[in-house]
Chains A and B, each alone.
Chain A
Amino acid sequence: MNPRKLELQRQVFEREALAHLDVLLRTAKRVAPTPVEAEDVVQETYLRAWKHFDSFETGSNCRAWLFRIMFNVINSKRSNREKHPEIPLLEEEDKQAQLSNVVAFDPLKKIESSQVLAATNFLSPEHRAVLWLVVVEELSYREAAEILEVPIGTVMSRLHRARRELRALLMTNRAGARMADGR
């Protein structure tokens, strides 16, 4: 590709794709195999997106396209990890810290957003991903199904379970906190 055309394409990429950097990073922090990998996942996503930017149709949903690439990156990382398992000690410590964050809220107060966020860490990666795409990023079931490469029925059932588990988790912890408090 000649340098002028390449520069032009780079400008379009910055305008169309890099505009979604914060959204991708925010989501990656929640759905990447570990939060510390979020930046690597996003960087890898953008490098792959740039590599195949020729296949992106201007005017189509760039955010959904980037999400699809990002979930492919995450799946590759996950399958690599399954082949070569190495669970860092920190991960378990992080989970304990998060659990205490969920449990320690005052039952007299209403549930706070940070507690809901902490509770999502106890959902499976599949449930968390669909919850993020539909609830937080407000994508349709069809778009979420395309991004995750699963049937739309799977999106619906995962979302249903994710919401139910999250609700149960918050209710259980609220009840647990009440009991511990002698109420």
Chain B
Amino acid sequence: MNCYQVKELIQLFMDDELDARSTLEVQQHLESCTACRRLLEALLVQDQLLKQATCADKPNSSQLRTRILAALQHQPVVTKRPKLTQLTWRRLTATAVAAIIIVLLLLRGLWMPGQRESVYAASVSDHAMHCSVEAMSQAITNPEELDQLATRYGRIGKIPDLSAFSYSAPRGRICELNGIKFLHVVYYHPTKQPLSLFLGPHSAQLSAEQLTVLRQDRYLVSAASRSGVDLLVVSLLDEQQALAIINALVAQLPGGD
């Protein structure tokens, strides 16, 4: 990649909007080009200063809050008012449909209200769609390139090592779970089903410092957040094995045990 191409992509690079392959190409160019690196630094500083100034501005919203709450008292929620003759029928239909949906969701283990749960559900479906070698055929496999992505998304110099659990041959791609960018790495086992690791800077949508293990459908999702990094592991393992793996991963993060 030359300077012209990098300048075209530098904004997408700094906003994490590039795919894994282009991210690596820009990163590799930046390592050898001082001029482009300086441009990136200048833009990052500019963004950082803008963020700092905005965060320093803490608006006093207490009066506005009171005003809004008072106004809400007089403001009805829009609800359609069906004709009286249709009301009972519609209510019955709606209740029946809702009940069926809830039962189906419960049976499928997908009843997960809340943003955090939406991220977990998205990780399960992303794993299911991309865990096969065929689906990951375009993914990054070069260890050095994977390490670079791990640095960018997980602030660690090396892609986490799961060889102690016989998981190897990692393949990486960038994905989006409920609007959050993650590095998605799939590890393969000689006899077991593949395992997915999602690695990204900590998002407000996930709890900090909390270790969570939950079953979704037939998958087990274990999640943790340490040192400003979110980790999610999706597998078909049992709880004990999944916990051992997430703990081993946490230990590989900066400041890990």
Chain A interface residues toward B at CB < 8 A: 1, 6, 9-10, 13-14, 18, 21-22, 25-26, 29-30, 39, 42-43, 46-47, 50-54, 58-61, 64, 111-117, 120, 131-132, 134-136, 139-143, 156, 159-160, 163, 166-167, 170
B interface SS class: helix
Residues A117 and B50 in contact, CB atoms below 8 Å apart:
yes
B12 touches A25 (CB 8 A): no
* CB-defined contacts of A30 to chain B, threshold 8 Å: 54
Contacts of B17 in A (CB 8 A): 140-141
B84 on the interface (CB 8 Å rule)?
A: no
Q: B residues near A, CB below 8 A?
A: 11-12, 15, 17, 42-43, 45-47, 49-54, 56-59, 61, 64-65, 67-69, 71-72, 75-79, 112-115, 117-118, 176, 178-179, 181
What are the 10 A-B residue pairs with the smallest beta carbon separation, nearest first?
A113-B53, A117-B53, A113-B49, A113-B52, A116-B49, A25-B59, A46-B68, A59-B113, A136-B54, A135-B47
Known: A46-B72, A136-B54. A116 touches B46 (CB 8 A): yes
Decide: A61 and B178 in contact? CB cutoff 8 A.
Answer: yes
Total inter-chain residue pairs, C-beta < 8 Å:
122
* Residue pair B61, A25 in contact (C-beta under 8 Å): yes
Once the chains bind, are B181 and A140 in contact (CB under 8 Å)? yes
- Known contacts being A10-B72, A42-B64, A156-B12, is A59 close to B51, with CB within 8 Å? no
Given A1-B79, A29-B59, A61-B178, A113:B50 Cβ within 8 A? yes
Q: Shortest beta-carbon distance, B84 to chain A, in Å?
A: 16
A102 to B: closest C-beta gap in Å:
13
Q: Which residue of B lies closest to A52 (CB)?
A: B78
Partner of A60, one of B43, B52, B118: B118
Question: Bound state CA distance, A112 and B52, in angstroms?
Answer: 10
Bound CA–CA A112/B53 (angstroms): 9
Chain B: minimal CB distance from A166 (Å):
6
CB-defined contacts of B176 to chain A, threshold 8 Å = 140
A51 and B68 contact, CB distance less than 8 A: no
CA distance A60 to B179 in the complex (A): 10
Given the complex, which residues of B lie within 8 Å of A136, measured CB to CB?
50-51, 54
A135 to B65, CA, bound (A): 26
